[in-house]
Structure 1
Amino acid sequence: MEHVAIIGGGFSGALQAINLLRHQGPRATLIERRTETARGVAYSAAHPDHLLNVRAGNMSALPQDPGHFERWLERRHPELAGSFAPRLVYGDYLAELLEEARTAAPERLNILQGEAIDVMPDGEGWRIALADGTIIAADAVILAPGNLPPHIPGGIDADALPPGAFAPEPWSSDVAKGLRADDAVLVIGSGLTMVDIALLLDARGFEGKIVALSRRGLSPRAHAAVEPSTRDMRPPTEAVGLLRDVRARSCEVGWRSAVDELRPYTEGLWAAADLTERRRFLRHLRAWWDVHRHRIAPKVADKIAAMRDAGRLEIVAGKLTDVTGREKGARIRYRPRGQDAITTLDVRRIINASGPQGDLLRTTEPLLCRLLERGLIRPDPLRIGIDVTQQSETIGADGEAHPTLLALGPMTRGTFWEIVAVPDIRRQTWAVARKLSNAHWVGGEGL
């Protein structure tokens, strides 16, 4: 294998390119439609107040060098070492890693700005078509689409709302633009993206009311210093049994430790669970898992708590029933959880923070739509991403895996589940790089 094309230059794609070079693998072309590579949405659209959700000590991009990011911080931003660093700073770290890789081997890494709109089989290899008409030949293709934009929630007809009343993507524009102190904002969702939006609105000087609406009204918990703990036995696979087990462990070691000690088992538990158990987990436990597993920095938690105490942020459990346009904004009707009566709320803007989409059958991304049409990829059985093997090989409509058409990152959550955070994606990209570089046959650990 001589040439690998990587489509998507965010964290997953950029790290894949870096790892191919570190393993002395085939040359790579990294294709990114944005003007910046390595940062993606998470590390480029952030505000300085947006912090990483993981301490610096566990944010190394290199699995064989756990302290890499922390040493980089000590050199570049010593005041941040050992803390929850700003996401913009982490974007700088990734961009520098990628540039170092390209500078060290310019003949082996080409970074190309453009939009891939099609991938076509070509003998034993592939041809990638770009929007500008360029065709690129490659022996293998790696899809790294990152998180796809959220679906528009049911009950919202965006075309029926006045301009500026609905922000379909939380990162697509300045969501604070034009807001006044007496305005109210509705955020659909109460997870990590809602936290980011609340911090952003506050940093932009918005003094009005923010209402976050989600089905259960759950919000991310805060990190805290805990003593590491390990389990004596493997946790149950069945969802109800796992819940009972974690509750029992929480009484013994605290809920943070009880959740953290599942990390070595999570991927195996997901792989061992049948489709019924996975669906049960997604329907009944996912929201609880998300807020306890994906925590926020203490500083961020304190800020959110202060906004709630001041009445500037309200988190509501309920279901959106309908939305109608007003002269300036929208009228929201929702049913609070556990109640029959409908609550009405007038807002200047609705911000969609309902979470990234994963259903390929609903996506409008041109490349993914074309790959679906060609039968080269298919949705996973839960329709939360791209169906892949344990080796990250995409599975086509015929059920056959493609060893040279692979996918990385959050869109492979149907197979791996825990594949949204840096520690998980860095292992995945490392394993794929070893395979494509034939390092897995000789036990090489890269450079």
Structure 2
Amino acid sequence: MSGQAEGIAIVGGGFSGAMLAARLAERGVTSTIVNRTADFGLGVAYSTPFDGHLLNVRSSRMSALADRPAHFVDWLKAHHPDSADPDRFAPRRVFGLYVQDRLRTVETAHPGTIRRVVAEVAQIAADGVQLADGSVIAARAVVLATGNPAPRTAEAGASPRVIADPWATGALDRIGADDDVLIVGTGLTMVDMLLMLDGRGWTGRATALSRRGLMPRVHGERPDPPRQPTETLLSGPLSLRLNEARRLSRGGGWREVMEGLRPITAELWMQADLATRRRIVRHLRPFWDVHRHRLATTIGVTMDRLTAESRLTIVTGRVRAITADDRGVRLDWRARRGEAPPLTAPWLIDCTGPGHAADADPLTAPLIHSGRARLDPLRLGLDLDPLGRVLDREGRPASTLFVLGPPARAAFWETIAVPDIRKRIEDVAGALRA
């Protein structure tokens, strides 16, 4: 690799990185996407080969383009007509094909504006990125779009019986058809793993542990109309706003309340003071997550079946220790109301969700230690300004370093779903073009 300027360097080639590159190309800005694999556009979410893994958002809202809301549905009609119902939840594998097709289409229409590099980024330099082989991609700005990291609750490599990264290739292949499993975490990752196992003909039982025992809620049969937020819901002490949300939910349904909040969630988060944000993270976040990030209706039916068959049991408590030998895994835990006997099974799967730790990440930790970046006060990630620019130790925004997608949650809270990320893409693309 040469040291010549390469426009914008984008670290990470999942949805966020690939669609940012496409948008930049359409605005006449060149970029280089650096990804660990050749599967540009997929990331963790859309690289699954299992068609039972469905989108958590209806197809009508999954356009990659903010100004063309029907773009994904139109693509489905042309390429996958069996999945083209705008009110259905398309397979995530199919959405990954859509993202890849859009990237290729833009590359064809704007030749020479997007460069793909399969490599490991070792360091964010002052003038670009350094790769693991020592070569450098020079750039006038760098965008970190590294997606969701693997969970961190279970120690990777501690035992082959402990599946620390459930999304690793072949991670579930060792689990026998009738093996029981322990799962730490009861959110979306747990659901994905059980769906994959069940789809393979697995007949074992799963015991899942989380601190509150909450599972993701399910979408309604039809799209829910948004309920206009009241002034009380949008301002004032958090306790009063929560009471207002409950009141509105009793009157018209909680899904309608969540739909009304969805377009303005990031704005409300940015307006909140530190004390309010801290209370949200400490007390409200688990309840928000299970109501906000919901399951497709058919997936909800599958989870109900597993529960009714006594093949899924959820327990509430905290992990104390995980030990394993060549025969199985022992999970010592403390129940919410006191001691509990240990749980045992041949396998344990860590489904605690993304293990974001900016001060331990090999790319972002050096930025923090050198003063080029800082953690946000709640340690959710790097501290950013409203454009997604990294703030240095003194709180000054860097005009050449941006964060996009899930790693930007400290600044925007909602940076996981496509409708939220595509808005951030427009903001970042506008700033980089300027």
Q: After TM superposition, is the score higher than 0.5?
A: yes
1:148 maps to 149
Contact 1:235 1:245 in 2 (8 A): no
Q: CA deviation at 1:232?
A: 4.5
- Unaligned runs of 5+ residues in structure 2 are none
- The partner residue of 1:60 within 55, 58, 63 is 63
Separation (CA, whole Å) in 2 of partners of 1:77 and 1:87:
13
Instruction: Report the Cα distance in structure 2 between the residues aligned to 1:176 and 1:232, rounded to whole angstroms.
Output: 46
1:345 alignment partner in structure 2: 343
Shift of 1:148: 1.7
- Name the SS for the 2:98 alignment partner: helix
Aligned equivalent of 1:105, options 107, 110, 127: 110
String of CA shifts for 1:55-83, please: whole Å, max 9, x gaps.
00000000000010011011111111121
Q: 1:158 to 1:347 in 2, by over 3 A?
A: farther
CA contact (8 A) 1:237 1:273 kept: no
Alignment of 1:197-276 (within 5 A): 197-224=193-220, 225=222, 226-233=224-231, 235-276=234-275
| AA of the residue aligned to 2:193 | I
Partner SS for 2:342: strand
Aligned to 2:185: 189
Give the Å deviation of 1:23.
1.9
Deviation at 1:43, TM superposition (A): 0.4
RMSD between aligned alpha carbons? 1.7
Question: Hey, what does 2:400 align to over in structure 1?
Answer: 404
**What's the counterpart of residue 336 of structure 1?**
335
- Measured against aligned partners, the alpha-carbon deviations of 1:301-328 in whole angstroms (never above 9, x if no partner) come to 0011101101111122111222332441
Amino acid in the other structure paired with 1:151:
R
> In the alignment, does 2:21 pair up with 1:13?
no
Q: Which amino acid aligns with 1:50?
A: H
What is the percent sequence identity of the aligned residues?
40
Shift of 1:374: 3.0
Structure 1 residue 27 corresponds to structure 2 residue 30: yes
CA-CA distance at 1:283 after TM superposition: 1.1
Question: In the TM superposition, what whole-angstrom CA distance separates every residue of 1:87-133 from its partner, at most 9, and x where no partner exists?
Answer: 00000000011111112222111111111111222xxxx13211122
CA distance in 2, matches of 1:131, 1:406: 21
1:312-359 CA distance string (max 9 Å, x none): 11122111222332441112222222x213222211111111111222
Corresponding letter in the other structure for 1:375: G
Give the 5 Å matches for 1:122-201. Answer: 126-153=127-154, 163-201=159-197
Contact 2:19 2:103 in 1 (8 A): yes
| Aligned counterpart, 1:302 | 301
d(CA) in 1 for partners of 2:130 and 2:6?
19
TM-score where L is the length of structure 2: 0.94
Residue type of the partner of 2:329?
A: A
Cα deviation code 1:242-276 (max 9, x no counterpart): 21111011012101001111123312221121112
Q: How many pairs does the alignment contain?
A: 425
